[in-house]
Amino acid sequence: VLGLLALSISLVSSTSGSTRCKNQSGGNVDWFILYKLPKMQKTKGNAFTPAGGEFVYIDSDSPTSARTWTLSSQDLYRPPNPLAYTLAPLYQKDVPQDILYVVYNDQSPDRYNGTRNGHSKGVVMFDEAVGIWLLHSAPRFVENLHGGVYTFPENARENAQIFICVTFPATQLNAIAKQLRMQYAKRVRQGILNGDATKTRPDGSPLQGQLHTWTNDETEYRQRDQSRRKTIPQRCQEGQPGS
C-alpha cells in the first residue's frame, strides 16, 4: 500500500477531472483510505454502536501533524460520501464516453456461485490523462452500474470493509493491468474509451495495452481451466496426479 501511495504522490500532476479519487467534499485527492465499521449490537458497555454504514477516513490532504483516522459524519449507504463522489461516472445512466473502466470482483453483484478467480476486488477507471485504482473488500460492489443512482450493497453491512483509492497518471495503466493479470481478477464489467480499443495517450502509446491483454487472457484461462477439470477424473482413474 505504501508503495502505491508513494507512486501516486510522485507521478500524479495537478490535472483535474472526473477520474480522480475524491474526498468527503468531492474534491480531488491523490489517495484515500476508508475503513467501514461493522454493524454492532447495542449493549450496556457500548457507547457507540455502528449500524454498518459508518466509516473512518484518511487521505493525502489530512494534516501531517496529526494524520490519524477520523470518524466521518457521512454514511456509505447515503450519498454524499467519497465512494459516491469517486465513482459518479459509473452510476450515470448514460455510459461515459470519455473513460475506460473495469470493475472486478470475485463475489460479483450477480448471483454468486463461487469462482476460481483470484480473491480480489476493485475498480480501474481512467481517461486519457489520469485515473484511479480502487481496491476494496466488499462483496457485490460495484452494483447498479449506470443505474442513475449510487448504491452500496446491503450484504456488506454486517462486516467491516476496507477501501483504498489511489490516483495514477495514465502511463501507469499497463502496470496496473499486469497486476490484475497476475491476480487473475474476475472481470464484472468494462467500458472502452469512446468505444475505441485503439485509443492512444497524448504520447501516442496505446491506452488499453495490458488491460486489453488481461481481458483476453481471462477468457483463455477459463477455457484451459474447464479443459483441465474435465481431465482430472480420468487422471485419477489412471492413478496419475490430479493436478
Can you give the residue ranges of every domain in the chain? 31-41+49-217
Amino acid at 200: T
Residue 7 has pLDDT above 70, yes or no: no
Contacting residues for 226 by C-beta, under 8 A, at least 6 apart: none
Phi/psi zone of residue 204: left (φ > 0), alpha (ψ -120 to 50 degrees), beta? left
Mean pLDDT, residues 28-55 taken together: 92
H or E stretch including 4? Answer: helix 2-11
| pLDDT in the model for residue 11 | 39
All three cell numbers of 182, joined, read: 497476475
The string over 47-76, giving b where at least 16 C-beta atoms fall within 10 Å of a residue's C-beta and e elsewhere, is eeebebbbbebebbebeeeeeeeeebebbb
Q: Cell 501533524 appears where?
A: 65
pTM over 0.85: no
Q: What is the mean pLDDT of the chain?
A: 77
Query: How far is Cα 222 from Cα 216, in angstroms, rounded to an integer?
Result: 10
Percent of the chain residues topping a pLDDT of 90: 39
- Of 163, 181, 128, 166, give the one whose Cα is nearest residue 11: 166
All three cell numbers of 103, joined, read: 470493475
Length of the chain, please? 243
Pick 57 or 177 by higher pLDDT: 57
Three-state secondary structure call for residue 3: helix
Instruction: With beta carbons less than 8 A apart as the criterion, state whether 89 and 18 touch.
Output: yes
Q: Quick one: pLDDT band at residue 105, thresholds 50, 70, 90?
A: confident
Amino acid at 184: Y
β strands within the chain, DSSP E: 21-22, 28-29, 31-36, 55-59, 70-71, 100-105, 121-126, 130-136, 161-169, 187-191
Around Cβ 174, how many Cβ atoms within 10 Å? 17
Mean pLDDT, residues 203-225 taken together: 54
| pLDDT in the model for residue 243 | 40
